[in-house]
A = this chain, B = another copy of it.
Amino acid sequence: MVLATHNKGKQREYELLSGNAPIALRGLSEFEEVPLPDEEGRTFEEIATKKARAVSMMLGVPALADDSGLAVEALNGAPGVLSARYAGESADDYQNNHKLLEEMRGRENRKATFYCAIALAKPGGLVLNYAGRCSGIILDEPAGAHGFGYDPIFYYPPLRKTFAQLSPEEKNSVSHRGQAMRKFLNDLERILTWLGDR
Give residues in A with beta carbon < 8 Å to B: 42-43, 45-46, 73, 76-77, 113, 115, 117, 125-129, 131, 133, 187, 190-191, 193-194, 197-198
Contacts and interface: CB of A to CB of B under 8 A. Distances in A.
Contact of A43 (B73, B131, B187, B197): B131
B131 A190 contact: no
A121 to B, nearest CB: 11
A126 B194 contact: yes
Contact of A190 (B76, B126, B187, B191): B126
A134 to B, nearest CB: 11
B45 A131 contact: yes
Contact of A76 (B46, B77, B117): B77
A20 B193 CA distance: 31
A45 B187 CA distance: 17
A46 B131 contact: yes
Report how many copies the assembly holds.
2
Given A76-B76, A76-B77, 11 more contacts: A42-B113, A43-B115, A43-B131, A45-B129, A73-B76, A126-B128, A126-B194, A128-B128, A128-B129, A129-B129, A193-B198
A186 B116 CA distance: 26
20 contacts: A42-B113, A42-B133, A43-B131, A43-B133, A45-B45, A45-B117, A45-B129, A73-B76, A76-B77, A77-B77, A125-B190, A126-B191, A126-B194, A127-B128, A127-B129, A128-B128, A128-B129, A193-B198, A194-B194, A197-B197
A175 to B, nearest CB: 15
Contacts of A128: 126-129
Q: Which of A126, A127, A187 has the most CB of B within 10 A?
A: A126
A162 to B, nearest CB: 22
A129 B198 CA distance: 21
A191 B113 CA distance: 33
